[in-house]
Copies of this chain bind each other. A is one copy, B any other.
Amino acid sequence: MSTLPPPDMLCFALYSTAHRMQQTYKPLLAPLDLTYPQYLLLSALWAEDARTVGALGRELQLASNTLTPLIKRLETRGLLRRTRDTGDDRQVRITLTDDGRALQSDAAHIPDCIVRETGMDMADLTRLRDEILALRDRLDPA
């Protein structure tokens, strides 16, 4: 019987390309001493600060068991703060510190660098992104 080898599988294309993309980010993030997931979390906060763990989790598609340690590492580094200043005491609100906000300008060049590394133009990248997202949204979130 013939089994499709990994190089022919769509899932493997996603898997290996996502990893390769993280490798591409690595030298750009190293000077900021950030991992890729940490950069994603900060990007979410740079776009909209002071959100709850749950709201960030919905945007990044991560649950608290991944998010909580991630957040705590950045808190330890003094890039953000955790508070319970909402009406609902179950919720934890994440707010950037001055240092956390300052990092945004240090990272401002990164998106352009990534685009350049792909060697593709914006229109193609946007189209590919939307096709990948369309696939994701067809797959059950459950």
Question: Would you give the 0/1 interface string for A92-131, flagging 1 where the beta carbon is closer than 8 Å to chain B?
Answer: 0000000000001101100100100111100001101111
Question: Would you give the 0/1 interface string for A69-105, flagging 1 where the beta carbon is closer than 8 Å to chain B?
Answer: 0000000000000000000000000000000000011
Q: Is A61 an interface residue (CB 8 A)?
A: yes
Contacts of A117 in B (CB 8 A): 138-140
Q: Are A114 and B11 in contact (CB under 8 A)?
A: yes
In the assembly, how many copies of this chain are there? 2
> How many of chain A's residues touch chain B, expressed as a range?
35 or more
A11 to B3 alpha-carbon distance, docked (Å): 29
Contacts of A130 in B (CB 8 A): 13
Nearest B-chain residue to A133, judged by Cβ: B13
Q: Is A55 an interface residue (CB 8 A)?
A: no
Q: Are B11 and A44 in contact (CB under 8 A)?
A: no
Q: Is A21 an interface residue (CB 8 A)?
A: yes
Contacts of A119 in B (CB 8 A): 138
A12 to B125 alpha-carbon distance, docked (Å): 12
- Given A40-B12, A61-B19, are A47 and B4 also a contact pair (CB < 8 Å)? yes
